[in-house]
Structure 1
Amino acid sequence: MSTPWTDLPTHRAWLQAHGESLLAFGRRVAVPGGGAAWLDDEGAPVVERGVQTWITCRTVHVYALGHLLGVPGSRPVAQGALAALLPGGVLHDAEHGGWFGTVRRAGAGGGVEVVSDAKEAYQHAFVLLAASSGVVAGLDGARELLDEAARVYLDRFWDEDAGLSVDTWDRAFTACDPYRGINANMHSVEAMLAVADVTGDPAWLDRAARIGGFVVRQAAAQGWRIPEHYSDEWVPEPDLNRDCPDDPFKPFGATVGHGLEWARLLLHLEAALVAAHEADPGLPQAGGPVDGAAEGSTWAEAAAALFERAVADGWAADGADGFVYTTDWAGEPVVRDRMHWVVAEATNAAAALHTRTGEPRYADRYAQWWDYADRYVLDHEHGSWHHELDPTNTPAGTVWPGKADLYHAFQATLVPRLPLAPSMATAVASGLFVTP
């Protein structure tokens, strides 16, 4: 029996080298005056897309990790992107608080045009993540940013009664859209785990567990396909965007990649809860069933079920290798394009499940999907990953033109080398790399 790739020092060295190549690809991402650009196929900024909060935050996070890894040139990129989020930065709303979705430089005079002034939980969750990683990396202004981001998130987005995040406000935080969504809550869990590690406040873990429990219960009732869209009363809306099935943020049906991403996040959550209980036995234990879950599923059992459903529905579902983007509620493919982030999350989920269980089948899948990524998704000519492939595994740009950012690809180089807890920046800063 061969050694699993995740246990091979040579594979870990390959992951490190690939991560460094991704950082090199994105070296032009920082925008003069603050923020980060959407990148094209060759890593050049796409000016007409403006400066977007989620891209900027992901850039701070990735290059903060690069700095913690000791990769020269990473800190200036992270600091330059972070500048847009700080008071006086182009993305920060000094009047009403929070952060704009998108801004754009207006002409030669250098004025700033607000393109999207909606305040979205998705974007604000990434502000929390960026600030947390920035604090660990010692970026100037990151601690103050984290304090403000936490206040805004808790005041405006967190619904304590529901144990979930609302989705979108208008600029002045006077009108809340009735739509509720799992995507923003998923990234909220990721951010909450990071904030808990940086602040030491276990309330963030409790919030993450409440979100995770809701998703487990909803998915279990739907054959482990996750309903993504809800009313303001948290009633599922399974037909939303049926007429716009390839929406990049709110697609119709079950999103295969989110099943994989949630599988990993539940394992991170479980590990964080276990560690917190060990540090303070007064906190709840994490080894038992998820509160209210069908058949008493534990976090690990739910993660495995989500993984198996996503793989059964999504991998080579139409006869060609690769994960389809979405399926209907019977598991039939709807959007058959292959998105780069899905295979990144597939390798991450397989690695996390192998770490948690030691089962060889997860290691086998991990190697299979990296082989697929190397053959089709990695751009060996220009660098980074093709963000979208058509059903024949040919590069496309219908949903994701260019190579927007490095977040999913770069994290795929770290997840197999780190423990399930603490969160990524804290683990890297602490030197908690897993060795065979």
Structure 2
Amino acid sequence: MIDHTGPALTSPDHHAWLRLQARGLLDFARKTMVAGRGAGWLTVDGQVDDTQAIHTWITARMVHAFSLGAILGDAHAREIAQEGLDALRSGPLRDSEHDGWFASIPVTAGAGEVDSTKSAYAHAFVVLAASSARVAGLSGAQELLTQGLAILEDRFFDAGTGLHVDEWDASWSVLDDYRGVNANMHAVEALLAAGDVTGDPVWHERALGIAKTVALQWAAPNGWRIPEHFSPSWEPLLEFNDDRRADPFKPYGATVGHGIEWARLLLHLDATFPGQHPWLQESARSLYSRAIADGWRRSTAGHMGFVYTTGWGGEPIVETRMHWVPAEALAAASALFTATSAPFYAKDYEQWLAHVERFFVDEAHGSWHHELDTANRPSGTVWPGKPDIYHAIGAFLTPTVPLSPTLASALAAQTSGR
């Protein structure tokens, strides 16, 4: 187990320890970039897995992570972030004919198929990456941010609903019938960051509108379990993927980690609009409480941990433990403590940190195991390897900054002494 001063959320020593862990994640992932193409899917020991595609969402998340490292003064992280940013701007992930970004390309040119799908999920991460890169002062970041926001606005945003549609074909000719909350959740994060770096309030307002729909129209009437999947007219599809319950992006039922993640995002919004919308903090507390009550439980194998999904009555569906769930639990507990000063959130944080240190942190190879089985042993049925460091680095850095502005801007303000 890692030795550190202690998880007191107000302790400067603990904040220093968290920053050190973040740097360790960057060290693990330094081989992520494939020259001229983007960020590869990493193996358990931090090498690029040449059996996996290069994804836009992983590339963007790694640009975001290494931009955070650049803001913290890591010159090598700056170089890696710039390489990834350049790949997003002009590499083969970018569709030079129709604009936007393909879902994925093969690691080696011509050695596999291009997935030419255009997804809101991936494009939201491009906006987040560009926002963080601009804060870090990377070349071309503003251009990428302008392009990413324009595509998110023109191709995915539906002004009639205030939400983003999910998926187009390569030529933007065929819109898939599926509508989903996951892409909209990450759009909220991206739009908050974009609003912070551009100063344009429209992006913050848009994020607020999405959150209001998800929290008050869908989560609250459903016992604070968030419906994830919808028809083209935004009718909930509560039985969607009943035959593919462990899908990595569209699992059946309520996704515990998303309830936790939304709780944190609502607190960032609350800090962005201080005192204006009491429902934000109230909803954040309800979402977190429901997700923890449903998700933190003893498995059928007798071990405590967070389940991946539950049914609509809170019963566990997929008990496999994904690393991003306790990562989000750490960030959300720290955010709730910052927002409320309630000591039980600090105690939750200590519990989640102890769990992560004991079972998820891979002291032999670095980073976190991305998946555990029901006995808390490393597994890889849904997430083989350690694809990226986005959730883990957020878990370590979020407790060290205020709730607003968003992470890159807040880190920059701290490091500049403002």
User: What TM-score bracket applies, with the shorter chain setting the length?
Assistant: over 0.9
Query: Cα distance 1:331–1:317, how it changes in 2: closer, same or farther (>3 A)?
Result: farther
Aligned residues: 410
Superposed CA offset, 1:64-122 (max 9, x none): 00000012310111011112211x3111001111000001155xxx5585521000000
Pairs within 5 Å for 1:351-362: 351-362=334-345
The equivalent of 1:333 in structure 2 is 316
- Structure 2 distance, partners of 1:268, 1:145, is 24
The equivalent of 2:23 in structure 1 is 20
Contact 2:44 2:365 in 1 (8 A): yes
- Structure 1 distance, partners of 2:176, 2:298, is 35
The equivalent of 1:295 in structure 2 is none
The equivalent of 1:281 in structure 2 is none
Contact 1:22 1:384 in 2 (8 A): yes
Contact 1:103 1:116 in 2 (8 A): yes
The counterpart of 1:324, out of the listed 287, 307, 310, is 307
The counterpart of 1:397, out of the listed 371, 377, 380, is 380
Question: How far does residue 188 in structure 1 lie from its aligned partner after superposition?
Answer: 0.2
Question: How far does residue 433 in structure 1 lie from its aligned partner after superposition?
Answer: 10
The equivalent of 1:48 in structure 2 is 51
The equivalent of 1:270 in structure 2 is 270
The equivalent of 1:371 in structure 2 is 354
Contact 2:157 2:165 in 1 (8 A): yes
- Structure 2 distance, partners of 1:100, 1:114, is 11
The equivalent of 1:99 in structure 2 is 101
The equivalent of 2:148 in structure 1 is 149
Contact 1:379 1:386 in 2 (8 A): yes
- Structure 2 distance, partners of 1:235, 1:50, is 33
The equivalent of 1:7 in structure 2 is 10
- Structure 1 distance, partners of 2:93, 2:364, is 34
Question: How far does residue 4 in structure 1 lie from its aligned partner after superposition?
Answer: 6.3
SS of the aligned residue for 1:414 comes to helix
Pairs within 5 Å for 1:201-240: 201-217=200-216, 218-240=218-240
- Structure 1 distance, partners of 2:184, 2:276, is 20
- Structure 1 distance, partners of 2:304, 2:262, is 22
The equivalent of 1:278 in structure 2 is none
Question: How far does residue 316 in structure 1 lie from its aligned partner after superposition?
Answer: 1.7
The equivalent of 2:124 in structure 1 is 125
Superposed CA offset, 1:123-154 (max 9, x none): 00000000111111111111111111111110
Matched, 1:426 2:416: no
Contact 1:131 1:142 in 2 (8 A): yes
Pairs within 5 Å for 1:48-87: 48-86=51-89
Contact 2:71 2:415 in 1 (8 A): no
Structure 1 residue identity aligned to 2:238? P
RMSD across aligned C-alpha pairs, in angstroms?
A: 1.6
SS of the aligned residue for 1:83 comes to helix
The equivalent of 2:281 in structure 1 is 300
Question: How far does residue 317 in structure 1 lie from its aligned partner after superposition?
Answer: 4.4
- Structure 1 distance, partners of 2:87, 2:288, is 37
Structure 2 residue identity aligned to 1:411? G
Question: How far does residue 432 in structure 1 lie from its aligned partner after superposition?
Answer: 7.2
- Return the TM-score normalized by structure 2: 0.95
- Structure 2 distance, partners of 1:246, 1:13, is 37
Pairs within 5 Å for 1:285-296: 286-288=276-278
SS of the aligned residue for 2:316 comes to coil
Superposed CA offset, 1:323-354 (max 9, x none): 00000001000000100000000011100000
Contact 1:419 1:432 in 2 (8 A): no
Contact 2:40 2:107 in 1 (8 A): no
Structure 2 residue identity aligned to 1:396? S
- Structure 2 distance, partners of 1:264, 1:316, is 21
Superposed CA offset, 1:34-58 (max 9, x none): 3111100000001221211000000
Query: Cα distance 1:236–1:317, how it changes in 2: closer, same or farther (>3 A)?
Result: farther
- Structure 1 distance, partners of 2:265, 2:129, is 17
- Structure 1 distance, partners of 2:345, 2:116, is 43
The equivalent of 1:197 in structure 2 is 196
Moved over 3 A (4+): 110-114
Query: Cα distance 1:432–1:69, how it changes in 2: closer, same or farther (>3 A)?
Result: closer
Superposed CA offset, 1:299-342 (max 9, x none): 00100000000000000243521100000001000000100000
SS of the aligned residue for 1:334 comes to strand
Contact 2:130 2:145 in 1 (8 A): yes
The equivalent of 2:3 in structure 1 is none
